[in-house]
Structure 1
Amino acid sequence: MTSPASLVAFIDRDRRFVCHSAAWREWLGDATLDGRDLPDVIGAEAYEALRPHVDTALAGRPVHAETWVSRPPLGPRTLSISCVPQTSETGETRGFFAFVTDAAAGHGVEEAEVHRRKKMEEALRDSQDRLRLAVEAAELGTWDWDLRAGIFTWNDRLGRLWGLPSTAQGDRGVFLSRIHSEDRGRVEQVLRDALRPEGGGAYRVEFRILAPGDRTERWISGHISVLVDEAQQPIRLIGTTFDMTGRKSVEQELLFRKTLLESQSEAAIDGILVVDSAGRMVSFNRRFVRMWGIPPDVVAARSDEAAIASVLHNLVAPEKFISRVRYLYAHPEEESRDELALKDGRTFDRYSAAVRSADGVMHGRVWYFRDMTEQKRQQEAMREGTARLQETLHELNTFAYTVAHDLRAPLRAMVGFSQVLQEDYAPALDSLAHDYIRRIAEAARRMDKLIQDLLTYSRLTRDLMPIENVELAPLVAEVLGRFEAEFRETGARVDVNGPLPPVRAHRVALHQVISNLLSNAVKFVAPGTRPEVRIYSQRKRGRVRLWVEDNGIGIAGEYQDRIFGVFQRLHSLAEYPGTGIGLAIVKRAVERMGGRVGVESATGKGSRFWIEFRSAR
């Protein structure tokens, strides 16, 4: 009897033929096999004989056995069957390759059978060589533990990776000693599991080793296959190792980025939802769930449609809401921002945009929801406050007009009648009467000046003050011209040291500020002292500081903040006349223009007042 050629086929986990060699036609004829069930192809009697081996292979364990089959199409003969399981990356068995030959039992093996077996051995050696080259190209470390012989060996790649000397071949203890102490116990447990007869046949494990030399940690991915004998007892463990340090670093970096993004999402003041192109809620933070009150079962389902349906009853205009959502899903490239009114009085700001990859591919949509209720209330309160303020300002303007017109008119009358008394009735009045009339006129003038300063201070508070570029040099010259007569009377000397750069200010207000500073510089000098004033500027970091320096009586340190308040006087009217409002006007005007004001002084050593503004553009 001539033995047919060897049969080769791949059987999937559902026991169906996926592919097969041409030799099956010699055994079974020209029948189509792919997609057919194994029992249907080989017959019930042969299937029952082979079934234990098929079960073992689908459990992930290799098989090599001989079985007698008495009936066609495979019998009558003794079959030699080898099964090699194929597993996925997750360790799940996808199916197995089956190799079936006629065992040709007995001592009288025909010459053709011997020749065929030699060919198979040569093919096996060739396959082993190709496998070795593939292992080397993939930089896989391999090891082999022959349990019967007690020999443990490894290839050169693993030896280099582990830092194992060639003299250590066969020493399993040295091999295990290179594994990180925190992982060694776990690896040993996997080996013990593999040695149990009821083990699964294939194992995966990740662990660290300490690299030779610098003792750095390297991550290793290990795969162990268990070979068993006919009694299903382990006889050999074969392992492969792959240096996955780079991949592990990437995984750790990705995990860090994922954790960072989740932390940022949870720390955000917005409720955040990310929906993929299939309508699945792929990411959301707790604030989003709390804001909308989404039920736990809807959260667990991660369905955007279910989430939308669960919140519609909260909205004042649910139809408008759902219409906008559907429009944005139909136009994924568009961004959107609007406000949502809820029935409980809350207001949400909603922003949405597409989730795009670097190459522009749309992967879904992100939604941001911010509770604007408190901000809306504050804005409404601000609008009401602004309205009240405008009403108050209107009343102040009316009051200022009254002060300017109704109060100053009697003062002008007092001064006028005093002058009439002095001019027309001078002969009838004694010296005491003349002194009283002079005092009345001076008091009326002081009161008029006080009213004017108060009105100026009031206007600085309420009037609009548009900021523009102001040339300092001509403005200072204009102020000096206004004081020309007073300077001649007092003998004051004023030096202007240029240049004076332009600043950002309000020209009229700045004129008032410089006038007040210059007036004080000339006024507050010791009796018999000629006033000397120096005006100059400094540039610093985009700002200009204008100095007004005098040789006056100076100001003690404890009073230097107080002098900028309203009605703050350090001397009596008899010593130095004034209203006590001049420096308050300076401070208010400078601050309204976005500037700063200060003074450097000491008693008896003069004063250096400064005002500072942004440089002109």
Structure 2
Amino acid sequence: MTMLANWESPSFWKALARGAGLAGAAIGLIALSGWLLDSAILKSLHPDWVAMKANTALGFFLAGAALWLKGREAEQIASPWLRVVPVLSATVGLLGLLTLLEFILGRDLGIDQWLFQEAPDAIKTLAPGRMAPASALCFLSLGLALMVGGKTARSSRATALLAAITAFTALASGLAYLYDVENRYGLGYGAQMAFHTVLAFLVLAAGVVCLQPQRGVVALLRTQDAGGKIARHLLPTAILLPVLIGWLKLSGDRNGLFEADFGVVLVVLTYILALNLLIAWSARILSQADAERVRAHAAIQEREARLRLLLRTIPDLVWLKDTQGAYLACNSTFERFFGAKEADIIGKTDYDFVDDGLADYFRSSDLAAIAANRPEVNEEWLTFADDGHSALVESTKSPMFDSTGKVLGVLGIARDITARHQAEEEIRAAQAESTRLLKEADQSRLALLSVLEDQRAMQDALRLSESALLEAQRVAKIGNWKWDVATGKHTWSAEIFRIYGRNPALGAADLDEMPHYFTPESWAHLNAAVEKGLRQGIAYECDAEVVRPDGSRRWITVRSEARYDASRTVTALVGTVQDITARKLAEEEVQKLNAELEQRVRARTAELEAANKELESFSYSVSHDLRAPLRAISGFAQILARRHHDSLNEEGRHYLDNVVTASERMGVLIDELLHYSRTGRGGVRLLAVPLAPLVGHLAATFSERLGAAGGRLEIVEPLATPLGDATLIGQILTNLVDNALIYRRPDVALLVTISAQREDGKVAIKVTDNGIGIAAAYHEKIFQVFQRLHSEDEYPGTGIGLAIVYKAVRTMEGEVGVESTPGAGSTFSVRLAAASEERSKS
């Protein structure tokens, strides 16, 4: 730790207090050892000097112990001995008080020789074993000082006064030793102390003062301002100079160098000279301090100007609030958000600019950052008041603390991440489109394994893209610079040296070196931007590619503006450089991945188109190649049944009936397959389709079958008008009603209900029956081709009807689903766009 840090640290002064306590206690123990060993040198240090009395030595030990313990108490170190501090302090004060009473009352109270006996003719002793009146006074004031403690301003002043009484009383006796003054009577005789008694009182008095580093003289000595500097130099001078002058005066008198009266003149002249020198020296210190203050103020103003320039040019929103939510500062980007100037924003809260709901959200996030005692990051949409545009921002709010750890307020920084969000949305949309195409390919049973492999590859590419985007949005690194036009001097911050890859020891690059740090195109672009900014008197901003000395390249954004004098002459250029390499790399990666994704989607689309053509060819093959032999089988079977039915036995007739039934069923299956393959194959025009005529025709078509089954069809009116293709909607309704007739319950009369209502901007066409129902595990499976849940003997069918429904709905860009419980019927829902517009799909 440096000396400066020692002087400033309270613990340094408390350590001095503990050291003073140990020194005082040690002096007392040494003197007690002298009495115990009957050693004159330990009791008086010199044969002709007065000895330290035994009770004086005991008092020093007790006072030193009390001071050391109080020093530990000041450091807040737990100790059971701290409880004895008041007892020790009171004992020291009582010892001095009782001794003074002995002198005042002229009586021996029995405390002088209770430890050791002293000869009646002891040197400079008023009574055997009794300390001098001055010593008793010092013990009384020292004990009181230790008892008062100085925990408040008033008690601190009292403690300092008592310590001063102790010190000056002891100093009087100490000067007598220094000046070799013989005191044989009067006040001087009563003030005589042993030399180590003087030393112990001075050390203990100084220790008491050091116990209060936040107040009084010590507080002044700890400060680093001009007052503290003067105090640290003048206090020792104020003590030592008079002592030296007095010693010189006495030496001159004793050696006959001048007469006593003229000695007074010399003392006065010496004091005048010394005081004038001290005044001149103090004035010089104050002048230097004032000059340093002016330089520091100028440096602070320069740093504030650079900081404000940095905040003004940074594209992020930056603001500072106090703990009550009132704004303390903000940058120009934040001014655009509120549509107000900084002067109008400072002192106000969010409730003065935005609605209460948003203001409550801002306030809660501020308090969350303070409570967490760490930065809090949120994403939120903000609408800028200056032009009304909205942006998605990533805001970071950090609590700010003073040197004591007290919360001062909240610093907020918000970065516009709209572009990143839009890129992510585009990627998710492309992924969704790819998934849809793959699902349709699965419906067509075409190249499933290959498509799945490609889908996994696209998902991996998308994950890499998302990772690159996250990397591209890391916190921007910005440095600031200044170019003085008159001197040509460049000033760079440390961050710019890192961006350009230049050794800071070389200093900022000059104009001749700068072209080597850019590609030729970027240097030309940058020069053009600078010239335009100077010519039009505006700030400029441009991107440039940096070439580092090691050959690596970085992308940067340069922002700058000019400084002018009173005659509008450019005096300097100041600005910032931001490393945007990560963002550039991320943008290039996203563009590359988007291009790859588009290429893959085009490839999948081409594969699907080829698959559709193959399916179409297959359907024609089924229509032409399979129907001819099927007709022959059916025709010959019917001829055989008609001409030779009676000649066949029962088993032969059974086989013949099975052949006829199977050929008829095969014909129905071929028709259904052709129907499925042709559904939505041509372009459809999505128009407003009135459902009433379609449903009416449907009711007439199924009236005979419903009557034969003992069922009925109900229509819930009014019917909303969807946007779709009338033929496809007719196919959907026909298949759903036919499905209800097939899967009805034999013990309940069939009821089929058709409704069409608007829901969330769509038209929901619902066909509800009270049939056998469908288990939840099969709700998605039933829409696939040839998926049947029952045998042909239980319920006849081909397993294609609901697949046709699904394909027709998807052709019209709709959604289809089912809600069903086994034994409780089913509700099929078809959601199509509402008829508010007309458009084509091909």
TM-score (norm 2): 0.37
Give 1 or 2: higher helix fraction.
2
